[in-house]
Amino acid sequence: MALRLMGLGWFVASCILIGVLGGVWLDTWMNVSPLFTLVGVVLGCVVAFYGLYKMIGPILEQTNKNTNNR
């Protein structure tokens, strides 16, 4: 379980980084300054926190079951 929690930080960082890099690439390709970079940051954050929510849900459910069984 500790490894799973450590991987969450890498997941969030990589989602945001991929969004930023994709936005910068689109900005240079379409010659538009900060538009797609900002869109990439927002989309990266949305994907990261949605994935975080989906990954933490089972951990919290398992923790609640263990706590209720005591």
Residue 22: half-sphere exposure toward Cβ, Cα within 13 Å:
12
Residue 7, domain member (yes or no)? no
pLDDT higher at 4 or 58: 58
How many separate domains does the chain show? 1
Q: Report the 10 Å Cβ neighbour count for 37.
A: 20
Q: Tens of pLDDT along 29-69?
A: 999 989 999 999 999 999 999 999 998 888 888 888 877 77
Please give the structure tokens belonging to residue 32: 């538009």
Burial of 3 (0-12, 13-18, 19+ CB in 10 A): exposed
Residue 13, domain member (yes or no)? no
pLDDT score, position 1: 65
Residue 9, domain member (yes or no)? no
**Domain ranges, residue 51:** 20-64
Residue 31, domain member (yes or no)? yes
Strands (E), the chain: none
Residue 58, domain member (yes or no)? yes
